[in-house]
Amino acid sequence: MRYISTRGEAPPRDFEGVLLAGLAEDGGLFLPESWPVLTASEWRAMRGLPYPELAARILALFTGGQPGEAVLRPLLAEAYAGFGHPAVCPLVQLDHRVFALELFHGPTLAFKDMAMQALGRLFDVTLARRGERVTIVGATSGDTGSAAIEACRDRAAVDIVILHPEGRTSEVQRRQMTTVTSGNVANLAIDGSFDDCQDLVKAMFADAPFRTEMRLAAVNSINWARVALQIPYYVAAALALGAPEREVAFSVPTGNFGNVLAAWAARRMGLPIAQLIVGSNRNDILVRFLANNDMTARAVEPSLSPSMDIQVSSNFERLLFELLGRDPAATAATMRRFRAEGRMPVPDGAWQAATQIFRGFALDDAGTLEEMGRLFRQGYLADPHTAIGTAAARAVPPVDPAIPIVVAATAHPAKFPDAVRRATGLTPPLPLRLADLYERPERLTRLPSDLRAVEGFVRGHVLRNAA
């Protein structure tokens, strides 16, 4: 299995190379050179497997044998052993055709744990085999940072620095990052938006001397391994609901496009997914694109669903590459124009191809609170992001009313207690393992949105740990 850049000017890599590189040298994102496609009998053979074993079987399709399934099985069993539900990601039926796929039973109570807990262990295996050390830098709009820190804390061959937009995450999200005292962990509160944080991370990777000196690696969903590790839970849900004999649909609250891209990848592999619904808040660039081919970036507006407060969805580039017939020159030119002008000129044919699979739905804060209240009255407590997903599932016309629709329930309601309290009158308690989170001391550094300042901090962090 080889991987190529969406922009065509970086050398192909194997899975280990992609895992450690994250972003391609040409600024593009890695994708498989060719997609594995499974037959109906191969999908059926995975029915009833424990989640870690199913995940190992799917991931092995992308690793090219390094590591192979025999290594992945115990690695993933260990990764998911600490999750708070024996099914790892259980399905909960909400009504006659809508199901919640609960992805928040990991250590940081968000769907990012589903990939991150495995990713940290993959880094360990790969770095130990190669005798190398890396510096992970990442940007977070809320959940990625805490999941990455939890996965990488105290790992011998990894330093990690996470950037978050100051004041634009929930308190729980922030504290899950800033109360970790491991020496290899550092948190930066950036004066700006998530898009500013993401731009800083991309700029560090684009700075070739700095990238080489610091041996940079990524855990954001720009890293293909992250996306690959999210594919299995869509497979698990579809198989549980009757695939491959029965089609399913998914509604995914979406910010950086990585989670819904994993569902698209499962479809590309032959899983019978009839429709993918992109749920957004007031930062609705993806919804505007799907409705009117309008991919115009606007100022990021804070909302009750901060993990979706994004205008530049990095993983959309991977879908764009596919929509443009895997033409790297066209993809690179389109992305350059988007960065220069703030508007992405997607050809009508490519846009229409996207709308055959994807639908979009946006919900403002008032509507989000209303949906959270509706779900609560029906017996289900949801966080704001999940509520947007359920509202989208009800609002978008189905391809076929007989097809079940699965909502990606991306975060535990306790991560957003203020919003839950406003919607329901109830303050959701944190699980026991996090019960003292508000009492733990915080450790973070505040910096402007300035590349030189951030690179200086990263270099200092790494050199201190190396001393």
Whether residue 46 is contained in a domain is answered as no
pTM (predicted TM-score): 0.92
3-state secondary structure of 429: coil
Mean pLDDT of 244-254: 97
Name the domain count of the chain: 2
- Considering 199-213, 296-310, 379-393, the range whose residues carry the highest mean pLDDT is 379-393
For residue 189, being part of any structural domain is answered with yes
Q: pLDDT by residue (tens digit) across 389-418?
A: 999 999 999 999 999 999 999 999 999 999
The reply to whether 217 and 241 lie within a common domain is no
Q: Does residue 165 share a domain with residue 277?
A: no
Please tell me whether residues 204 and 245 are part of one structural domain. no
State percent of the chain over pLDDT 70.
100
Structure confidence at residue 368 as a pLDDT band (50, 70, 90): very high
What does the CA dihedral 168, 222, 161, 77 come to, rounded to 10 degrees? 100
Assess whether 162 and 212 both reside in one domain: yes
Residues with a catalytic annotation lie at 112
Mean pLDDT of 262-291: 97
Residues 147, 251, single domain; the answer is no
Mean pLDDT for the chain overall: 95
Kindly state whether residues 416 and 452 are assigned to the same domain: no
SS3 for 215?
Answer: coil
How many residues appear in the chain? 467
The confidence score (pLDDT) of residue 432 equals: 86
91-93 and 98-102: which strand pairing? antiparallel
The pLDDT value recorded for residue 306 is 87
Residue with tokens 């992305």: 335
Q: At 409, give phi and psi (nearest 5°).
A: -85, 100
**pLDDT at 221 (0 to 100):** 80
Instruction: Give domain status of residue 242, yes or no.
Output: yes
Q: Do both 323 and 367 map to the same domain?
A: yes
Q: Do 198 and 210 belong together in one domain?
A: yes
| CB-CB contact of 75 with 118 (8 Å) | yes
Q: Are residues 242 and 130 in the same domain?
A: no
Q: Is residue 103 located within the same domain as residue 156?
A: no
The CATH code of the domain that includes 186 is 3.40.50.1100
Pairing of strands 134-139, 216-217: parallel
300 and 246 within one domain: yes
Are residues 195 and 300 in contact, defined by beta-carbon separation less than 8 angstroms? yes
Query: Same domain, yes or no, for 284 and 319?
Result: yes
Q: Is residue 241 part of a domain?
A: yes
Domain interval for residue 195 = 112-225+440-466
pLDDT at 89: 98
pLDDT tens sequence across 327-354: 999 999 999 999 999 999 999 999 999 9
Asked if residue 155 is part of any domain, the answer here is: yes
Within a domain: 62 = no
Examine residue 65 and state whether it is found in any structural domain, yes or no: no
d(CA 464, CA 467): 5
Q: Cis ω on the peptide bond leading into residue 11 (within 30° of 0)?
A: no
The yes-or-no verdict on residue 467 having pLDDT over 90 is: no
Burial 26-63 (b: 16+ CB within 10 A, else e): bbbbbbbeeeeebeeeebeebeebbbbbbbbbbbbbbb
Q: Does residue 272 lie within any of the structural domains?
A: yes
What pLDDT is stored for residue 39 in this prediction? 98
